[in-house]
Amino acid sequence: MLYGAAQVGGTIRDWCLSRAPGDRAVIEQGFAAWQVASGVPQLEAYLKAAAPEVLPRLRDLAVERRAQTEAALDAGSASPRDDCRAIRAQLGTYANLAQLYPAEYARTAALRQGTPVTTAPAQPAASPAQAGDGGPFITATNFSPFNRAFVLKVLGAAGGQAPFTAGGPLGPGAFRCVREDTDEDSVTVAAYRYTLNLYGDGGVRVVQASVRPRSGAAYDLKAQTGTYTYERASGTLKVKGDRDSDLLDDLIVQSGSYDSLIQKVTLFNFFRAIKDRSGRTLLYGQQAYGAQADTTQTVCTPAGAPVGVSPVEQERRAQAEEARVFNLYRAAPGQGLKAAQIEGIMHHFSTRSDGINVLAEESVVLLLKDGRAYFNLRWTPSDLNVAASVKGEPGMWGQWRRRGAALEVKRGGSWAALPGSLAVPGASPERLSGDFEFFSAYTSGTLMSGATATTRVTYSFRPDGTYTLRGGSAVYGNLNTGATQTTGAAVASDPTRSGTYRFDGYTLELRDRAWTVTRTVAFFWDRSKTHLYLGDRSYTRQ
């Protein structure tokens, strides 16, 4: 983990060299000094000898985050040249190994100082290598309710040459697929045609899809996107559709068996890559729905390289752009407003009805001592670049004043009452203890016949400065992505779900076990400290 975190330092050096090329000597000298002080060369030498296969993966982590890291540096630097001439300070902010992984940093002290060690420090677990070049397909596969001769006939009609082998390598490519749905009398009820694009980064896209039913006119299907995994030993292809791609799982059937409720006959469903005698790759899928089986059969033939940009790459680009926009007016950590410049934060909570749902609405307004008010607070005030924000988003700024016991604001028009109450900042530092939970539910349709989407997120804080996260999403304000992260991973196996925290004033800083630093606005509603506002929502003490 330490060596992987240190690779972010290389990204910072490269960023500095591109932003301040005239200061190369100073930048390289500062970077080299940081590497030596952190023991990076010793870590690399140890890993080369003990686990060389791990090095590329650790380096790739920094490469994957390069765009996000550079976006954060661009947004946080008012003067790149000055920051890069003091590159060790930048490295201390974004790649401070001692703060990111204190236990591992202490455990590897002797190693990093060049002293031989007798007990190896903990190493990242290597993922098992994909093994297997496939095996017999026709002779080693149960095709029930189909027979082998019929499957051979279908593959032969698609140009396949027996014998066939299941599995083996499967590179990126496009496949033209034909699927036939039949009823229990083996009569075709629908024919599908589509192009399946498999991309090298695990993305999948189905395009040019159409259906011709037994009766009626043919019609087109919308494009489907998602991700896929491939098991080289068996040739099994599995997909997971994106939120609005509900047909993808139906086109690329899932592996498994179907036990009829009428008769206990197991029918086998799968979608596999196979190679014929000439080495040509085909895809074959089948699915059955009952003992007197309604069935589907799919055969896909090669159609060249995948077309267009992978949906995985599209999502990465979208996140990078979201991070860029989100961080436009963000200063380097702690280089924004000082506590002496802040009058307070006005917080307002209300609810409104939307059909059968009751929706919570929250707003925050940052009040400065000079009489200005800011209406677009997305992160901690201590990271707000006021000058850039005033210039780039002037409509988000106004004025505030006291009128008796109440507050008023003026935002481009007349003065109006400012609802809410002044938030209570954390102590310096504030130690939290216990669970704080956010919960929401929204029902589409009616209570009797509708779908309900729920979100439950719980932060468990401990007085020793550690935390864990359970539930569906993380707080707003991630330095790397600038966006809410949605995940359902288990805490124990996901390093992004636990770490250390520091709550000081209006700033909550989280450092997870995957090197990510999150700085977000945080405060209590009142002195009871029952409700804790984090990022863009409130959490209630349990």
The pLDDT of residue 367 is: 98
pLDDT of residue 109: 75
Beta pairing, strands 531-534 & 517-524: antiparallel
pLDDT score at 85: 82
Report pLDDT for 100. Answer: 63
- The predicted structure's pLDDT at residue 484: 34
Query: Which residues, given as ranges, of the chain have pLDDT below 50?
Result: 116-131, 447-449, 473-490
What per-residue confidence (pLDDT) applies to 480?
A: 36
Secondary structure of residue 280 in the 3-state scheme: coil
| CB-CB contact of 512 with 406 (8 Å) | no
24, 84, 91 from 81: Cα distances, Å: 11, 5, 15
Q: Which amino acid is at 51?
A: A
Q: Parallel, antiparallel, or unpaired for β 236-241 and 224-231?
A: antiparallel
Q: Is the pTM of this model over 0.75?
A: no
Task: Put residue 536 in one of left, alpha, beta given phi > 0 → left and psi -120 to 50 → alpha.
Answer: alpha
* pLDDT score of 475: 42
What is the per-residue pLDDT for 261?
Answer: 52
Residue 487: the pLDDT is: 39
Q: Is 485 exposed, middle or buried (0-12, 13-18, 19+ CB in 10 A)?
A: middle
pLDDT at 284: 97
Distance between CA atoms of residues 224 and 241, nearest Å: 7
